């Protein structure tokens, strides 16, 4: 019975470790995208009339 408990704990650890890494990465991406999206209006205002169509195509 103890061996089964160790096996279950090992499997749970192997599943939870990648999930924690994925969750952390998703959070980092969310923060980065939020900051980037907040900067887009200023970026678009900084483009000249000639640059804007080039950027959007």
pLDDT of residue 46: 95
pLDDT of residue 17: 87
Residues of the chain falling short of pLDDT 50: none
pTM for this model (two decimals): 0.57
pLDDT of residue 19: 86
**Contacts (Cβ under 8 Å, ≥6 apart) of 52:** 44
Residue 11 sits at the vertex; the CA angle it makes with 25 and 20, to the nearest 5 degrees, is 15
Domain boundaries, the chain: 1-56
Q: Read out DSSP for 28-47?
A: HHHHHHHHHHHHHHHHHHHS
pLDDT of residue 6: 87
């Amino acid at each position: 019975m103890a061996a089964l408990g160790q096996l279950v704990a090992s499997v749970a650890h192997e599943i939870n470790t990648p999930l924690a890494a994925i969750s952390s990465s998703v959070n980092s991406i969310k923060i980065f995208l939020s900051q980037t999206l907040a900067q887009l209006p200023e970026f678009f205002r900084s483009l000249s009339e000639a640059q804007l169509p080039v950027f959007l195509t």
